[in-house]
Amino acid sequence: MVRNVVLAAWLVVCGGAGVLARSEPAWVGHEQPVASAVDRESELAEAIDALAAKYLAMPGGVGLSVAVARGDRMLVERGYGLADVEFDVLANAQTCFRIGSVTKQFTAALVLRCAEEGKLSLEDELSKFVPSFPLQGRKVTIRQLLNHTSGIVSYTDLDEEWHSKWPLELSHEELLALVKDKPFVFEPGTKWAYNNTGYYLLGMVLESVRGKPYAEIVREELATPLGLGRTRYDSNVELIKNRAQGYSFEGGKLANDQILGMNQPGAAGALVSTAGELVRWQQALAHGKVVSAASFAQMTTPTVLPDAHDTGYGFGLSIDDLDGVKRVQHGGGIFGFNSMLAWFPDSDVHVAVISNGEPINSGRLADEIARLVLDIKVAPLLDLPIAPERLQQLAGRFKIELIGLSATVTARDGKLFLQGDGQGEFRLQHQGGDVFRAAFDDTLRIEFAADGKSFTLRQGSGLFPARRIE
């Protein structure tokens, strides 16, 4: 199990995988789900059933919630496997799962609603609503919290300082005490770094504006009006009907995952839902039933930094493509669960996948399902030879500035390998020109500059420029 990657964010913009995974995923060495395009809905459902079965057969597979819609028509809405292993409870379409950072789009939409009502401006400073949080002489705006450019330290990056607090129901003050005295990662607005503290603070902004807890705001403004009866703030105390248990998989053994105080993810990742309700939420959001068209356009417009770098991230949503087909999406990873919610605007296709087996990559399964529905043909993974002199030119040490990660590119036995510091090494397969891919993740693509002094790494929805440092 790639534990630290899941913990890096509630998160996981690209659906259960972080940049440069520490080791090959659990499915390496197992048969991969491959299916051809289908036309009829019954055939589509059967093909998705087969994909779900293959993913559940992978190490750590437990249960899944899957939903697919085209326009307003729900094509598939099903549960697979087990919601609870100990009691042998089957998952079904009504089983609710933690959705992690898919929560962020709910938070972003609520903030934009407040802006539409004139209750706040995206250019307002955080200090106007949360004056107790020290900004060390800097100005941080609501916009910068929404698009991850605030520079505030993300508490989920604090390792042991935060890990020791996992089971505790921390108050706002107790959680923010972890980061309030930490130096800013960068000056606000100058760079991009995925940030759970930012969305946690947005929850506090909403509470300041609305005068009630975030959980009540979600229920009263979104879940109840939209008929999302199983979408709500999670709790370790309250009884929640049809809630799945989350599982980890370590040392070849399945286990109940780590307890997490649900006040900690807050507006960054504390909601539970079903795949079907996530699709209905996305339909409502995309079609003007939650925020105005202008506000939704802001959510789905990638943030561009002062250096012209396109982050691929709007407000609570990532904008990218799947094999050349435009996609708006966000993934989530939280103890024992991971999720993916994707929308393909050109065909108005929605795909939601949630897993309660932490190693199972919901984003990868969602990609497979989307390719079925959209009849996308996957480009084969090539393994072309590379000239020895070019191999040596590409080898070296690089720094991925946006996430502060250094990585080593090594030439060995006529092949190229990449290893992030503290992570597992993997091979880069040459696709032609200066483009390389990795066998374990078909979303990972690296393109080197002609002079070999830099490269751009793309993984899932993220674009990460790197420059040579040695």
Mean pLDDT of 168-181: 96
pLDDT digit string (tens) for 149-172?
999 999 999 988 899 999 999 999
Return the exposure string of 248-268: e unless at least 16 CB atoms fall within 10 Å of the residue's CB, then b: bbeeeebeebeebbbbbbbbb
Q: Read off the tokens for 311.
A: 């982050």
CATH topology for the 388-468 domain: Lipocalin (2.40.128)
pLDDT digit string (tens) for 113-144?
999 999 999 999 999 999 999 999 999 999 99
d(CA 416, CA 427): 6
State residue 452's pLDDT score.
93
CATH number for domain 3-104+212-374, candidates 3.90.1300.10, 3.40.710.10, 3.40.1280.10, 3.30.300.160 = 3.40.710.10
Of the candidates 230, 231, 241, 244, the one whose C-alpha atom is nearest the C-alpha of residue 64 is: 244
Mean pLDDT of 307-320: 93
Q: Is the pLDDT of residue 37 over 70?
A: no
The answer to whether residues 211 and 240 touch, using CB atoms and an 8 Å cutoff, is: no
pLDDT higher at 28 or 292? 292
State residue 458's pLDDT score.
83
Let me know if 379 is exposed, middle or buried by CB neighbors in 10 A (0-12, 13-18, 19+).
Answer: exposed
pLDDT digit string (tens) for 384-406?
999 999 999 999 999 987 677 89
- Please report, for the chain, the start and end positions of each structural domain, with discontinuous segments joined by +: 3-104+212-374, 388-468
The answer to whether residues 197 and 179 touch, using CB atoms and an 8 Å cutoff, is: yes
d(CA 356, CA 372): 23
pLDDT higher at 41 or 280? 280
Q: Which residues contact 124 (CB under 8 A, 6 or more apart)?
A: 141, 142
State residue 100's pLDDT score.
98
Mean pLDDT of 12-25: 37
Measured between alpha carbons, how far is residue 218 from residues 105, 232, 420 in Å? Answer: 12, 7, 38
State residue 30's pLDDT score.
33
Portion of the chain with pLDDT greater than 90, in percent: 80
Return the exposure string of 84-103: e unless at least 16 CB atoms fall within 10 Å of the residue's CB, then b: bbeeeeebebbbbbbbbbbb
State residue 377's pLDDT score.
85
State residue 460's pLDDT score.
64
State residue 461's pLDDT score.
56
Report the chain's mean pLDDT, rounded to a whole number.
90
Q: Is the pLDDT of residue 21 over 70?
A: no
pTM, entire model:
0.86
Mean pLDDT of 77-105: 98
pLDDT digit string (tens) for 319-352?
999 988 999 999 999 999 999 999 999 999 999 9
State residue 444's pLDDT score.
87
